Structure formats: C-alpha cells, structure tokens
Structure 1
Amino acid sequence: MSDQLVPFLKWAGGKRWFTQRYARMFPQNFNLYIEPFLGGGSVFFHLKPQQALLGDLNEDLINAYSCIRDDWEPITNLLVQHQLNHCVDYYYHMRETIPTNLCERAARLIYLNRTCFNGIYRVNRQGMFNVPKGTKDSVVFETDDFEKMSITLLNAELRTSDFEPLIEEANHGDFIFADPPYTVRHNQNGFIKYNENLFSWNDQIRLAAALRRAYDRGAIILSSNANHHLVRELYEDQGFNIETVSRYSSISADPSKRKQYEEIIISANIH
C-alpha cells in the first residue's frame, strides 16, 4: 500500500512482523498514542496516530527521530554521502567518530545500523558503539520516505526518558504500546546477562505496576514480552489478558538457530 511507511531502522525485537500479522490487536479508536520503548517505531509508523508521546532511553535514537521530524532533507543527503564512501575502513572510521552536528549524528546512526552486523545496537562501557561491520552494503533504501515520516512525526513529542514517566501521563482513552527489552530467553528459563543489565527484573516489575496504574486510569494497554512463566505470572497477577503469538527470529548469528519463537501479548481495555 502506498501509504505504508517502512521503519528506517532495524532494531532488535522490532515489531514489523507484529504489525503485518496481528494488526487486529490494535484498538480502532484512541486519544494520545504513547510508546515508551520506541526502538524502530514499527507500530508508530503503522498506526500513524494523530497525537503521540514517544520515548526511549537511547539519546542517539531519539535524536534521529527528532532530526527526521524537524529537518529531514540533510539526512537524505548525508546517507548518499555515506553510501558513496562506504567500505571497511570508512565503516570503522565512522564507528569511532561522533559528530557534534545533530543531523550528522542522526545519519551516522542510520548508516551504522544499516551496515553493521545484523542491525544490532550495542555500546561498550564507555558508551561507544562497538558492533562490527556486517555483510550488507546498502545505505540508501528505496523505502526511505523521510518526508512522509517527517509529516507523520510532526504531532509527536519525542523524549529521552525512562518508561515510567511516559506511562504515568496516560489518561482515559489513551493507548500505550510497550515493547520492552526482553530479559529472558524465549521459552527457556535462563536469564541473559546482557539483557539483565539492559532491562532488569526490577524493571519488569516497575513496568507491570506502571501499566496496571494506567489501566486503572482507563488507558488502553498493549504490551509484548517473552513467553516466560515468571513474566506471565507477573501480568496475570495484575489482572491483564495474555495471548501467545509466534514470530520468526533472525537475530542469531547461526542460521540454524533462527526459528519460530513464542512471545506474549499483554492487553487491557481493548474493545
């Protein structure tokens, strides 16, 4: 469809598959759209809400969305330059370089995302992006419609923020879509050290409690999470509806380990 927008970033845990296969789960009517873990923005670009509050703890990510909203044309021109210069040495040069200009910083994030290994965003303890170069060399995509993305983002407030303050702003009839980093391996009992540092079990408890408070205020809730018995119990105890869905995971370096995984969708007040 001509009005569909393809997200400009590939993000771990992205929900393009969900918008394609489970769009029936989205509410038909709502007031403010709130997404506290923005990532690749698949659901936002699918819904194209009239009003939105979008947030993420990743400052570079929020800057990229802000630059596309406020001044998208330099992003396009900079990506063309990155495409012309792209090679192994250039990739690692850009990986070590952090521009001071915000548009250049946004274009750098998009460039690295499109040419790094599997589109993974990972930084070291010093906050430096440290993912090696991947096999893909395309920097400019035919699906890039930054002008239309800019228009879609015009009525969106963008914040670098923890999830809790954003969820606390939800009122009756507002729609929250929460897609947190998963802290457990899908369908298994092991907690993953890297994700535990990224989003702890205490964060999971905070998120469930914040969503319950928003639910009590009359907000519409839709949230994804790992299909892990502790996560299910956490949300069942809060009185949420839970549905199991399947997705194909392509993030593994080993193709033999890329397979269907189950996730859960947590919902409330969807009519």
Structure 2
Amino acid sequence: MTLKTSPFVKWAGGKKQLLSKLKERMPNSYLNYYEPFIGGGALLFDVQPEHAVINDTNSQLLNCYRQLKNNYNNVINEVKLLDSVSCDKERYYIIRDKYNKKILDNQLDAECAALMIWINKHCFNGLYRVNKKGLFNVPYNNKVNGPSINEDNLRDIGLYLNNYNVDIREGDFEDACVDVKKDDFVYFDSPYVPVTETANFTDYTKDGFTYEDHVRLSKLYKKLDKKGAKIMLSNNDVPLVYELYGEFNIDRFNVRRAINRNANKRKGKEVIITNYSGNSLDTWFN
C-alpha cells in the first residue's frame, strides 16, 4: 500500500526542512524504528516503517495520533464542522477556551484532537505553547477561511497507523527506549540546546526540558550505542552538543527557522549526529 503522509500540524522543531538530510543518514537496514520525541513526525511519515515505536510527553499531541489511528473519519468530520463557520478573533478565542476546557477535564477524544488541529492552523505562527497550568495560550493569526486539514493526508495517516505495527507511547524518553535492541534504529529529536546562554531550556509542555535532561539523553545515546543500536540525533550546532557527543559522527548544516517572531532570527546552524558509518559531510545550505 502506497500512502502519501506528512505532518498534520506545524510543530516547533519540525524536520521538513532537514528531511532529505536525515533520510540520507539513516542506516540502510534496521529492525525496529524508535522516535522518542515524535513531534510532527516528518521522518516517520516519510519513511513509514513497518514496526515503529513513537513517544512524546505532550498528551494532546499524542491524542491526535491515537484518535487518527482509532477512527480518522471522526477527527476529519470534527475539523470540517469547525471549518464550516468562518473564523474571526472572537470565534478563535471561543474555540481556544473550549479546547482548554477539554485539557482541564482531560477529555482526550476525537473532538479534542480536532480542536488542536484546527487551532494549530489559526494560532499565531503555528506555535504550540502552554502556560504553567498546561493551558494553550497562543493568540489568533487572523486566518478567516480555508480548510484546516488535508483530508487525504489525515486519512492516509490513519491508515498507516492502523495497518502497520505502530506503538504509541507517552512518557519519558528513557522509558520509551527501554526495549531497544541491537540493530534497532533510534532517532532523537529532543527540544534543542539553546543557542545563547540567556535562552531558556524549554519544551512545548509545561514540564520543560532541562540541561540535566540533555546530559541524561547523551548518556542514553551512549548506552544504546553499546547495545548495538543505530542512533541518529539532531540538535543545534552549539558547544554543549560537542561536549556531549564529540566521539560520534557530527554533520553540520545551515537552516531556516520556521517559527520565530523575529524574522532576523529565522536562520541557524544545526547538526545531525550518528553512531554508525555513512555520509559524514560538513555541509551548508541556505
């Protein structure tokens, strides 16, 4: 079955831009596919592995994956219902309040998934941000009309998640990797190390991703390396990354940032780190 799938939400740190570089550096063969920080799932949806474990800490995002797997038609119909009314500023905040009530009540259902997908298309810059209570607080982007989804894409995502062995997990990245074995492939796309010392270590959940978490991730990388797993990791091109992963293959790239309120800061440098031999190029692209 040939399915054309791509991310259904715009997600900070999304890998659409680096996708070709990531695919070039994937191992030629592997057993199971693991992605402990699934986010928008650009690599997963492109390569569509038959046996995959995906994980995240964002329960709202994972609810979208689960609902699409359980019954994609329900999600599609709920989004179309939301799209049937033009969106102005007042309606956006009404829908946002409805979504936040779902979060408070822990109602993880098809409607909640549809609300998140719809809001992602109508909020400022497609940013997913929550306050300390875990409530979504991104303002309106002035998008009035137009479909919030590609129906064929959501349908194909649902079919992929159903027809292949995709295990959807929720929790810490270490727990997601507890059963990684020799010759499994693991792709780590964690929240990035900040570019500047004044930047905050932050995730897109209320819990955050700290310096200690980055150190812990590097220790897990080395532990899985000793197991014989094939590991790829992406991050910012900053000194801490070289301190943590200096013994592995590090390829450097120039990238554009999709999400930044300051247009002058929408350029950056990133790295792809692997523990296996392959293309090792000091490459730059604009």
1:266 aligns with 2:267: no
Aligned to 2:182: 172
Aligned to 2:262: 254
Structure 2: distance between partners of 1:143 and 1:43:
20
How far is the alpha carbon of 1:257 from its aligned partner? 3.0
In the TM superposition, 1:96-245 aligns within 5 A as: 96-97=97-98, 98-99=101-102, 100=107, 102-137=109-144, 138-142=146-150, 144-154=152-162, 155-185=165-195, 189-193=196-200, 195=202, 198-236=208-246, 239-245=247-253
> Per-residue displacement from partner, 1:227-271 (whole Å, max 9, x unpaired)?
1111211111xx321111221113122323323x11111111355
Q: TM-score, normalised by structure 1?
A: 0.91
How far is the alpha carbon of 1:62 from its aligned partner? 0.6
- SS of equivalent to 1:223: strand
Paired residues of 1:180 and 1:225 also in contact (CA < 8 A): yes
Structure 2: distance between partners of 1:167 and 1:136:
40
Give 1:95's aligned amino acid.
R
Q: TM-score, normalised by structure 2?
A: 0.86
Aligned to 2:82: 82
How far is the alpha carbon of 1:211 from its aligned partner? 1.1
Give 1:141's aligned amino acid.
I
How far is the alpha carbon of 1:136 from its aligned partner? 3.4
How far is the alpha carbon of 1:159 from its aligned partner? 1.2
Aligned to 2:56: 56
Paired residues of 1:30 and 1:175 also in contact (CA < 8 A): yes
CA RMSD of aligned residues (A): 1.9
Structure 2: distance between partners of 1:65 and 1:136:
25
Structure 2: distance between partners of 1:58 and 1:21:
26
Give 1:209's aligned amino acid.
K
Paired residues of 1:6 and 1:143 also in contact (CA < 8 A): no
Give 2:134's aligned amino acid.
G
Query: Residues 67 and 225 from structure 1, CA distance in 2 versus in 1: closer, same or farther, beyond 3 angstroms?
Result: same
Structure 1: distance between partners of 2:264 and 2:116:
29
Structure 2: distance between partners of 1:3 and 1:20:
18
Give the % identical residues: 31
- SS of equivalent to 1:17: coil
1:5 aligns with 2:5: yes
- SS of equivalent to 1:147: helix
How far is the alpha carbon of 1:53 from its aligned partner? 0.6
> Per-residue displacement from partner, 1:180-212 (whole Å, max 9, x unpaired)?
111312xxx424226287211100000010111
Tell me whether 125-134 or 16-25 shows the greater mean CA deviation: 16-25
How far is the alpha carbon of 1:139 from its aligned partner? 3.9
Give 1:69's aligned amino acid.
K
State the aligned residue count.
264
In the TM superposition, 1:13-32 aligns within 5 A as: 13-32=13-32
Query: Residues 250 and 132 from structure 1, CA distance in 2 versus in 1: closer, same or farther, beyond 3 angstroms?
Result: same
Q: 5+ unaligned residues in a row in structure 1: which ranges?
A: none
Structure 1: distance between partners of 2:143 and 2:136:
18
Paired residues of 1:183 and 1:191 also in contact (CA < 8 A): no
Query: Residues 104 and 270 from structure 1, CA distance in 2 versus in 1: closer, same or farther, beyond 3 angstroms?
Result: farther
Q: 5+ unaligned residues in a row in structure 2: which ranges?
A: 279-286
Structure 1: distance between partners of 2:108 and 2:5:
26
How far is the alpha carbon of 1:101 from its aligned partner? 5.7
Paired residues of 1:37 and 1:55 also in contact (CA < 8 A): yes
